Amino acid sequence: VSLWELALRPLRDRLVEGSLSAEETARAFLERIARMDSELGAFLATFADSAIVRARFLDGLPRDERGPLHGVPIAVKDIISVEGTRTTAGSRILEGYVAPYNATAIERLDAAGAVILGKTNCDEFAMGSSTENSAFQITRNPWRLDRVPGGSSGGSAAAVAAGLSPAALGTDTGGSIRQPAALCGVVGLKPTYGRVSRYGLVAFASSFDQIGPLTRTAEDAALLLESLAGADSRDSTCSTLPVPRYTEEIGRDVRPLRIGVPRDVLGEGIDGSVLLSFEKTAEEFERLGVGTEEVSLPASKHAIACYYLLVTAEASSNLARFDGVRYGLRTKASGLHDLHDLHKMMSATREKGFGREVKRRILLGTFVLSAGYYDAYYEKAQKVRSLVARDFARAFERVDAVLLPTTPEPAFPIGAKSEDPLSMYLGDVFTTTANLAGLPAVSFPAGFDPEGLPIGVQLLGRHFEEGTILRLAHAFQQATDHHRKRPERAS
Amino acid sequence: MAKVTPDGVRKLAALAHLALTDEESVALTSDLERILEYAESLKSVDTEAIEPTSHALLEKGLEGEGSSREDEPRPGLDRERLFELAPDAGDGLFKVPRVLP
């Protein structure tokens, strides 16, 4: 078995016991990125030199000082700050910006012994579902190069699917970890809102954003979450609840658990092979001794409208900080002599620095927050958000997890939706509810369509019960092979 | 339903410090129209006596105790290093176009 074929857990075990060095591991993945990524475009930057230096340091550590992620290479979505390196968030407006500090998630990975390979491509400010909104490059799906990898964490998903990294960090505001994970045939975990610190994450919609792992297996997601999760005084929304031993929880018996199946949300426009994989997954859980029952999520049909009104409002406020004054791009306009000219500089900078989708969302957010529309749109959406959460709370009185498709269709062709924002938004039909309600959700491979494109399903759990949904996904992966299949070009 | 016009979009753009081109104003007007038309469906939802949610975990009391800590001074990021990131800075200040006549 080649190094790149190993999941994170077995790789980590070899690194800790010393049968494999961190340096040869880092070199193997860096070499593979150099050889394969020109075709995929998953990475915006690689840290060849610093990764080797770091790996050598780790190789020198005695066994009892080796962390839970000792020597494991990890790729990081380029919206998470890594000190001393460019952090672009996929945007021209952060041109020249070098992060002056590490995100808490990066500090945690460092402390656990991980080696950061590089930064992965994403939609600008994580706004998109195809990674086509990156200002720098498109990323291709390793399963079929004419397809999108999903987004916004498309670079991270493509990197893991192609074996360019055993794991990656992504961020999920309305599905940006789970949707690309589904489209690329890997596992993607969005933790409970507040489980992982957002310090050092470039903010899109602060009451929705969460950092989480993309991996090959649920077990690997559990291993990474154990290191990433936990209180942080620099993020006041980060929970102080103790972090469970997820890697132990996933091994427990799944038979006492029950799964809710909300068939009322499976309306029209869902691909036949997605529905088939979904039903087969429910049957597989029955075989594993997990009871399933119908649950109802009536407010979910309003989730997309609700989500896009709220996140654009938060984004219009968050993105006000990019004004050409403190960091990033500044457009030089001539003859600046008064306050009017200061505003002209800011407007010109933002006009040049932001892409079309970001402008669209800033305008929509400014609209829904403006006097006269606030009640009808913004506050109304906040109330519907309460109803979405209430549906899940009701379901979780009877079941421990809710099963949903991750996406209505497998990976779509590059360019198919980039000119039609609404059709792109509608693809988020199954993912935004977890963010609206702050719930943890894990997407995992559940089958393939007739063309061989991967299909994902997701399990949503109660707040802070990542251990339960990971346990179910782990049991499913022990019993099935979908996650073991690799794209041909990766072999 | 709220009427979105290119003029209205230009006003929003001014509020948001975006200098849109004419082509962008027209394209974004029709995008916003379509998105808001789609969002009309929310109006049909009965939200009588429903409280708005601004933060999914606040009402559950599950959010971190860290949400209000003592406001005590502590070391921050290095000042000089932050000024190096600015497009224009000097004398310990960020420089912007002159704002007084």
pLDDT in tens, A271-316: 999 999 999 999 999 999 999 999 999 999 999 999 999 999 999 9
In this prediction, residues B47-61 reach a mean pLDDT of 80
pLDDT tens digit sequence for A76-128: 999 999 999 999 999 999 988 999 999 999 999 999 999 999 999 999 999 99
Compute the nearest-CA separation of B78 from chain A (Å): 8
* Regions of chain A where pLDDT drops below 50: none
pLDDT computed for residue B18 by the predictor: 95
In A, which residues are within 8 Å of B57 by CB distance? 192-194, 239, 438, 463
* Banded pLDDT at B97 (limits 50, 70, 90): confident
CB spacing of B98 vs A338 below 8 angstroms: yes
* Banded pLDDT at B65 (limits 50, 70, 90): very low
Higher pLDDT, A442 or B61: A442
pLDDT computed for residue A488 by the predictor: 87
pLDDT computed for residue A19 by the predictor: 96
E strands in A17-69: 43-46
DSSP codes of every residue in A315-376: HHHHGGG-SSSSSS-----S---SHHHHHHHHHHHHHHHS-HHHHHHHHHHHHHHSTTTIII
Is A417 noted as a catalytic residue in this protein? no
> Is B66's pLDDT higher than 60?
no
CB spacing of A237 vs B64 below 8 angstroms: yes
Question: Across chain A, what does the average pLDDT equal?
Answer: 96
Task: Identify the residue whose tokens are 């990766």.
Answer: A490
d(C-alpha A171, C-alpha A225), whole Å: 13
**Closest chain B residue to the Cα of A324, Cα to Cα:** B87
pLDDT computed for residue A383 by the predictor: 97
CB spacing of A386 vs B50 below 8 angstroms: yes
Is A277 noted as a catalytic residue in this protein? no
Helices then strands (H, E): number in chain A? 16, 11
In B, which residues are within 8 Å of A376 by CB distance? 2, 43
DSSP codes of every residue in A3-20: GGGS-HHHHHHHHHHTSS
> Is B63's pLDDT higher than 80?
no
pLDDT computed for residue A150 by the predictor: 98
CB spacing of A386 vs B66 below 8 angstroms: no
pTM score, whole prediction: 0.97
pLDDT computed for residue B26 by the predictor: 94
